Amino acid sequence: MGEISEWRHLCVDMQRMFAEDTPWHVPWMARVSPQIEELAGRHPSRTIFTRFLPPDHADEMPGKWRDYYRKWWMMTGEHLPRDLVDLASSLTSLVPPARHFDKRTYSPWIDGRLHPILQSERVDTLVITGGETDVCVLATTLGAIDFGYRVIVLKDAVCSGADDTHDASLELLHDRFSVQLELMETEEFLRGVG
């Protein structure tokens, strides 16, 4: 694995609206939760939970996002119970010292706030978990690579609603980004950092 210096656990969108019975339910979120709970529980001060926040109304969003939320109108703030954007109940007690980072798009990098925060903390390595592998995790990972972070994706701690695209995403990341990214199991990572 090599020595890890200043790292953060970037846990992507482990929220009630994906864990519970909604149109965006990700059934295997329950399968990866124990690994995420273990890592975040051991290192809460190094954990940042991103939260995907839908707008109150589709028209608040730019461009094709308006169409997206017209399709998913039931997931906008005017229809979705507010507490469903919260973290899954097993993770809420970790904040603080863990932190939230709210975003309106798949990627947490777009609005320009996250990278300066991490740079001010001298972070050079990001350990990525959460969901969905083929959407928000992929966008988070590619942005981290673009910024030059060492990226570790914990393959037993990421999930998707579709097995095929989950598997394809992990294969893509492994095959095309092998110099900039490592795939490993949670237990292996935890052994390396104590």
Per the domain annotation, does 68 fall within a domain? no
In a domain, 79, yes or no: no
In terms of residue numbers, what domain contains 150? Answer: 7-52+84-193
- Does residue 71 fall inside a structural domain? no
Establish if 145 belongs to a structural domain: yes
Cα 135 to Cα 119, 132, 186: the distances in Å are 25, 5, 21
Whole-number Cα distances in Å, 26 to 9, 13, 38, 165 = 21, 11, 20, 13
Q: What is the CATH number of the domain that holds 125?
A: 3.40.50.850
Residue 59 within a domain: no
- Decide if 27 is inside a domain: yes
The total of structural domains in the chain comes to: 1
Q: Is residue 35 part of a domain?
A: yes
Residue 91, burial from CB neighbour count under 10 angstroms (0-12, 13-18, 19+): buried
What pLDDT is attached to residue 54? 97
> Could you tell me the two tokens for 169?
């995403």
Residue 150 dihedral angles phi and psi, to the nearest 5°:
-75, 130
In a domain, 70, yes or no: no
Q: Which two tokens stand for residue 4?
A: 């890890």
pLDDT per residue, tens digit, the chain (194 aa), is: 556 679 999 999 999 999 999 999 999 999 999 999 999 999 999 999 999 999 999 999 999 999 999 999 999 999 999 999 999 999 999 999 999 999 999 999 999 999 999 999 999 999 999 999 999 999 999 999 999 999 999 999 999 988 899 989 999 999 999 999 999 999 999 998 87
Q: Which residues have a Cβ under 8 Å from the Cβ of 82 and sit 6 or more positions away?
A: none
Residue 21 DSSP code: S
